[in-house]
Amino acid sequence: MKKSILPKPHIFLAAGGTGGHIFPAEALASELISKGYKLSLLTDKRGIKLSKAVSNLSTYAVRSGGVSGKGYLGKAISLINIFIGSIQALFLCVRMKPKIVVGFGGYACVPAMVAGLLYRINLVIHEQNAVLGRANRLFISSVRKLAISFEKCSHVPKILDENIVFTGMPLRSSIARAYEVEYPILDPSRKIVLSVFGGSQGATVFSNVVPSALAKIEKNLRSRIKVIHQSRPEDIKRTKLAYRNIEIDADVESFFNDAPMRIASSHLVICRAGASTIAELSAIGRPAILVPYKYAVDDHQFFNAKAFEEVGGGWLIKEDHFTSFVLEQKLKLLFSDQGSLKAAQLASRGFGKREASIKIAEIIDKLIDTEDTQIEGQST
């Protein structure tokens, strides 16, 4: 009997309201749309604003709230919001009849995952970090597949090993274009390009330390350095002045629309160690000094940076040790040693995974095909 071709079903993507969760969800969405799937993104108000800035994906805000670090009253309010959000998400399930919910972590994805459980559909999780996030841990025993960005991911029960797929991080199309840019040669007659990125909001510690470190470097070397610096909005004026005072050519902005190409033009990047940051660095293939955000939940940025350092893609400096003296010494060493930077560049590129969206889409295809086969079997 010839197998009937069924139309592609509806899929919910659920993501927390920050770029680290929204961007990989948007990257997967592009792949799934190309396969003919209908998609909706469930997030919170923050995610709505971010999603509208990067895509035209149908997006719905549901109530939610985090409980970590809050007092009893704050936790109670958050739990009430999660309950309300779960009801909102369940109504969306009843109305749109999705076949799968794909969760990308963050507390704003919890209501959609709860609704998926109540609606009795398949759940898939993508974990961006080297430590399984707290929201994702709530559903780990209920998911059909766990896609991970790092080869090793802590807080995952051993019993679930057969459900784990190492996919890497779904990346925006602009990253693929930046991958084609060759690593610039360290030529004495050319500028050394140093990029500084502090995550979606910038990092004040970089505005404090980087100009001060460069000021300590001898003038002959310093005059060759070109800086690209993403700063917090309130730090831009003083950061520009700090570079001007030491005669450094610097582009300082709160946001760069062409950030992937800026990274690709760099000899070295100084940055935080969020999962998206490391994934984009390694997909483009650039060496980095990683300064993990020390207040990250479960210290996940430290473990992300440690994994990157262990393969030779960069150098980890804890924020408490990230001083102008330490950075000056590191930069002088690296800028005088083309071999170390080139070796780290190759290791970084080898660490990257550029087909994560395709792999996760294949997981979804298989789950849908299995369900369709079961439905056809029941009807014959």
229 and 253 part of one domain:
yes
Q: Residues 32, 11: contact at Cβ < 8 Å? A: yes
Domain assignment present for 153: yes
- Residue 380 to residue 346: CA distance in whole angstroms: 55
- Predicted local distance difference test score (pLDDT) of residue 55: 65
CATH number, residue 268: 3.40.50.2000
Per-residue pLDDT of the chain (380 residues; tens, 9 = 90+): 445 566 899 999 999 988 889 989 999 999 999 999 999 999 998 888 777 655 668 999 999 988 777 788 999 999 999 999 999 999 999 999 999 999 999 999 999 999 999 999 999 999 999 999 999 999 999 999 999 999 999 999 887 788 999 999 999 888 878 988 999 988 888 999 999 998 766 689 999 999 999 999 999 999 999 999 999 999 999 999 999 999 999 999 998 989 999 999 999 999 999 998 999 999 999 999 999 999 998 999 999 999 999 999 999 999 999 999 999 999 999 998 889 999 999 999 999 888 999 999 999 999 999 876 665 556 55
Domain presence at residue 37: yes
Cα–Cα dist 171/69, whole Å: 31
The contacts of residue 299 (CB under 8 Å, 6+ apart) are 131, 292
Q: Look up the pTM and report it.
A: 0.87
Same domain, 362 and 296: no
Please tell me the predicted confidence (pLDDT) of residue 1: 46
Read out DSSP for 138-180?
TTTTT-SEEEESSS--BT--GGGGGGEEE------HHHHHHHT
In a domain, 3, yes or no: no
240 and 97 inside one domain: no
Give the burial string for 141-178 (b: 16+ CB within 10 Å, else e). Answer: eebbbbbbbbeebeebeeeeeebeeebbbbbbeebeeb
Q: What is the pLDDT of residue 172?
A: 82
336 with 364, same domain: the answer is no
Say yes or no: 183 and 314 in one domain: yes
How much is the pLDDT for 13?
97
Q: Are residues 208 and 249 in the same domain?
A: yes
Structural domain that includes position 234? 175-351
Same domain membership, residue 167 and residue 186 = no
Q: If phi over 0 gives left and psi between -120 and 50 gives alpha, with beta otherwise, what is residue 29?
A: alpha
Domains contained in the chain, number:
2
Rounded to 5 degrees, what are φ and ψ at 122?
A: -65, 140
Distance from chain centroid for Cα 364: 21
Q: Is residue 1 situated within a structural domain?
A: no
In a domain, 5, yes or no: no
User: Do residue 156 and residue 198 come from a single domain?
Assistant: no
Mark whether 58 and 129 lie in a shared domain: yes
pLDDT at residue 374 in the model:
62
Question: Do 123 and 243 fall into the same domain?
Answer: no
Tokens of 240: 């520009």
Same-domain pairing of 185 and 46: no
Query: Is 39 within the bounds of a domain?
Result: yes
The closest alpha carbon to 315, from 289, 354, 340, 295, belongs to 289
Is the residue at 198 inside a domain? yes
192: Cα separation from own chain's centroid:
27
Q: Is residue 2 part of a domain?
A: no
The answer to whether the CB of 265 falls within 8 A of the CB of 184 is: yes
Q: What is the pLDDT of residue 202?
A: 66
Instruction: Quote the CA–CA distance of 86 and 156 in Å, as a whole number.
Output: 25
Q: Are residues 105 and 209 in the same domain?
A: no
Q: Between the CA of residue 186 and those of 98, 215, 260, 301, 339, what are the distances in Å? A: 52, 21, 20, 30, 10
- Give the Cα-Cα-Cα angle 352, 354, 360 (nearest 5 degrees): 115
